[in-house]
Structure 1
Amino acid sequence: MKTRALRLYGKQDLRLEEFELPPLRDDEILARVITDSVCMSTYKTVLQGSEHRRVPKDIANNPIIVGHECCGEILAVGKKWQAKYKVGGRFAIQPTLNYQGSPFGPGYSYRFVGGNATYVVIPNEVMEMDCLLNFKGDAYFKGSLAEPLSSIVAACKASYHTVEGSYRHEMGIKPKGNMIILNGSGPMGFLAVDYAIHAERKPELLVVTGTNEAKLSRARRYNSVKKAAEHGITLVYANTGQVGDVKKHLLELTAGQGYDDVFVYAPLKESAELGSALLGKDGCLNFFAGPTDKNFTAELNYYDIHYRNTHVVGTSGGYPEDMKEALALIEEGLINPATIVTHIGGLNSAKDTILNLPAIDGGKKLIYSGIDLELTPLSAFAELGKSQPFFGELQAILERNDDLWCAEAEAYLLRHAPAGLRERK
């Protein structure tokens, strides 16, 4: 079977190509990818090429398919896996395999599986590690957004606190504690707030910082202070671009106690150092955002480490159990990841979207692999709809759904994309 896929050959060398997939083996699965949400990790991968820790050294001759936040449909199942997976079933992939200690995973390391493709062959190790997961949600895009949510689930579980008078650690954020998300007005911050509201372990105070008032306003709309209060959380959105002494302002929100759990959502030296300064006694800092510079450093307060028992962790991705929790939250309608979607596009737009991701404003960008469509912000639908009925109908659907991308909009897109935009046969 032929596939059309975006492949990485070297640093910033992405090529959209059509090629033959290998014959399916008994321990593999053939699938069609419907959508992939573009992750900053993919941008970092493309920036580094084979110097990235999860990318093989021989990509110049054996290119890999990029994209790891994908969802689609199973088309054929090898004999080994027929008892567990069924043709026609929807799937999502947890890309952090940890297979035999290898850092490799789909979207970073494989020639024939990745999110930016029409058809893929899923190798045996993905199933062996229980990383091919069934998805029962009402829209493919929600399955693709389970992966970023799973990394938030993992980060919250990885934070820890000591049990006084012992050498034991209690894993997870501190229940009814003070929690802050620095640089949290982007799409991952959106999901983190939603997860904090619906997770079993909840903070009592949750502060989210940012400097972009438009992003913070969107956050207040979809994850409101009122909604958080209904779940026992005092939620504060702090525009740190509008205060003088940021550290003083944020500490005052805790009555000077500091924060039990600090999450740093941007790989910035000043953010890491601010996070260290905000920690309360036995506070845990999670450096969530991965830097591209292998020599990235920032100062920590070692007095607090020694006398106040502060500590630091870092997480990247998650485990299958985290992905399963994320999928369940989405399937049950407790978390709606549509709140972070701001753009849609086809496979033809994936290359430019990835290469220019930091410069494109907004939240998550969804790539639908089976169509050709320039990356389009949802906010442009109304104007485009004046001359193009296709976008006019999409705008009407959004207006019926709180201005959010939704299952109805996805279904319309997949059924009615104008001639020439639907999947090439």
Structure 2
Amino acid sequence: MKTRAVRLYGVNDLRVEEFELPSIQEDEILAKVVTNSICMSDHKAAEQGASHKRVPDDVALNPIILGHEFCGEIVEVGKKWADSFKKGSRFSIQPALNYKGTLDAPGYSFRYVGGDSTYIVIPHQVMELNCLLPYEGDAFFLGSLAEPVSCIVGTFHAMYHTKSGSYVHEMGIVEGGNLAIIAGVGPMGLGSIDYALHCERKPALVVVTDIDDARLARAAQLFTVEDAKKNGVTLIYLNTKNLADPVATLKEISGGRGYDDVLVMAPVKPLVEQADAILANDGCLNFFAGPNKSDFSATMNFYDVHYASHHIVGTSGGNTEDMRESLSKMEKGILNPSAMITHVGGLDAVPQSVINLPSIPGGKKLIYTHLDLPLVAIADFAEVGKTNPLYKELDVLVKKHNGLWNAEAEQYLLSQVKGI
């Protein structure tokens, strides 16, 4: 079968190519990809090429298919997996395989499996590690968001605390405690707010900071103070840009005791130090944001590490159980990560979108791999719709859903645009 895919050959060498997939072996699965969301990790892989820790050294000769946040349908099942998977079933993939100690992962390391493609051959490693996950939701794009949502789920589970005199790490945020999400209105910050308000172990107070009033206002529209209150959470949005002493203000909001859990959503030295300064006794700081620079550092108060039992943790991705939880909560409507998506496009838009990702404002860029569409911001649908009836109708559909991409818009798009 032929596939059309975005292949990485080297540093920022991304090519949209059509080529023949090999016939599947009895321990492989042939699948159709419908959606893939672009991640900053894709940009890092393209930027670094063969020097990236997950990209093979011989990528120039054996290019890999880019993309690891994807969802689709199974087309053909090899004999070994015939009792476990069925043709037509929807799926998502946990890309962090950790197979026999290697860093190989779909979207970084394999020639025939990656999200930026029309059809793929899923290798045996994925099934052997139970990383091919059934998805029963009604929208493919939500299946693509399961991987980034799992990063958030994993972050909340990775937080840890101790009791005086005990060496046991009690995992998870403090139930009924204070949580601060620093620089928290980007796409992953919005997902963190969603999870904090709707997970089983809820904090009593959530304070979300940023320095952009418009972004804070949008977050407050999506996740309202009133809805948070119904879920037993006091939610506060705070612009720290013009505060004379952000640390003092944040501590005052917490009742003076600080925050049990703090998530830092941007790799900015002053923000890390601000987060450290607002930790409560036995507080845990999670450095969520992945820096580009390997020498990134910030000052931490080790007096408080010693005497106030401050903890620090960094999470990079979620595990398979986090993915399962993400898919389950989205299928049940408990979580709705649609707010992460700010742009929609087709396969041909991937190379330049990945290469220029840091300079493209907004959140997740959602790709429909069988469609040939430019990358267009959801906020621009109305303007583009003045001359293009497709976007005029899409604008109507997203406005019905509080300005968010949704299953109805996806179904309309797939029904109106001829596939590649």
What TM-score does the superposition give when structure 2 sets the normalisation length?
0.97
Separation of aligned partners in 2, 1:38 and 1:270: 28
Amino acid at match of 2:295: N
Separation of aligned partners in 2, 1:58 and 1:135: 34
User: Which deviates more, 178-187 or 383-392?
Assistant: 383-392
Matched with 2:271 is 271
Matched with 1:331 is 331
Structure 1 segment 257-336 matched on structure 2, within 5 A: 257-336=257-336
Separation of aligned partners in 2, 1:258 and 1:44: 35
For the residue of structure 1 that corresponds to 2:105, the secondary structure is: coil
Matched with 1:165 is 165
Matched with 2:106 is 106
User: Which deviates more, 374-383 or 72-81?
Assistant: 374-383
For the residue of structure 1 that corresponds to 2:241, the secondary structure is: helix
Matched with 2:83 is 83
TM-superposed deviation, 1:413: 0.6
Separation of aligned partners in 1, 2:48 and 2:125: 25
Separation of aligned partners in 1, 2:8 and 2:247: 42
Measured on the aligned residues, the alpha-carbon RMSD in Å equals 1.2
Corresponding residue pairs, total: 420
Deviations 1:61-117 (A, max 9, x none): 111111111101110111111111110001111111121121221112111111111
TM-superposed deviation, 1:248: 1.6
TM-superposed deviation, 1:50: 2.0
Matched with 1:34 is 34
Deviations 1:108-145 (A, max 9, x none): 21111111111111111111111110101011001101
For the residue of structure 2 that corresponds to 1:242, the secondary structure is: coil
For the residue of structure 2 that corresponds to 1:396, the secondary structure is: helix
Separation of aligned partners in 1, 2:283 and 2:350: 40
- Structure 1 residue 124 corresponds to structure 2 residue 124: yes
TM-superposed deviation, 1:162: 0.5
Separation of aligned partners in 2, 1:7 and 1:186: 28
Matched with 2:410 is 410
TM-superposed deviation, 1:241: 1.3
Separation of aligned partners in 2, 1:250 and 1:52: 38
For the residue of structure 2 that corresponds to 1:109, the secondary structure is: coil
TM-superposed deviation, 1:223: 0.7
Amino acid at match of 2:346: G
For the residue of structure 2 that corresponds to 1:73, the secondary structure is: strand
TM-superposed deviation, 1:314: 0.9
For the residue of structure 1 that corresponds to 2:120, the secondary structure is: strand
- Structure 1 residue 178 corresponds to structure 2 residue 178: yes
Matched with 2:7 is 7
Identity %: 54
Matched with 1:423 is 419
For the residue of structure 2 that corresponds to 1:295, the secondary structure is: coil
Separation of aligned partners in 2, 1:268 and 1:59: 32
For the residue of structure 1 that corresponds to 2:280, the secondary structure is: strand
Matched with 1:197 is 197
Matched with 1:237 is 237
Deviations 1:315-338 (A, max 9, x none): 111111100100011000111122
Separation of aligned partners in 1, 2:294 and 2:212: 28
Deviations 1:324-357 (A, max 9, x none): 1000110001111222221100001111111111
Deviations 1:242-277 (A, max 9, x none): 322222221221122111111111122222222222
Separation of aligned partners in 1, 2:398 and 2:315: 35
TM-superposed deviation, 1:295: 2.0
User: Which deviates more, 319-328 or 234-243?
Assistant: 234-243
Deviations 1:282-341 (A, max 9, x none): 111111111222222221111011111111111111111100100011000111122222
For the residue of structure 2 that corresponds to 1:130, the secondary structure is: coil
Unaligned runs of 5+ in 1: none
Matched with 2:49 is 49
Separation of aligned partners in 2, 1:279 and 1:103: 34
Structure 1 segment 377-388 matched on structure 2, within 5 A: 377-388=377-388
For the residue of structure 2 that corresponds to 1:241, the secondary structure is: coil
For the residue of structure 2 that corresponds to 1:71, the secondary structure is: strand
User: Which deviates more, 324-333 or 61-70?
Assistant: 61-70
Deviations 1:364-396 (A, max 9, x none): 210110011110111222222222222222122
Amino acid at match of 1:106: P
Amino acid at match of 2:16: L
Separation of aligned partners in 1, 2:238 and 2:256: 16
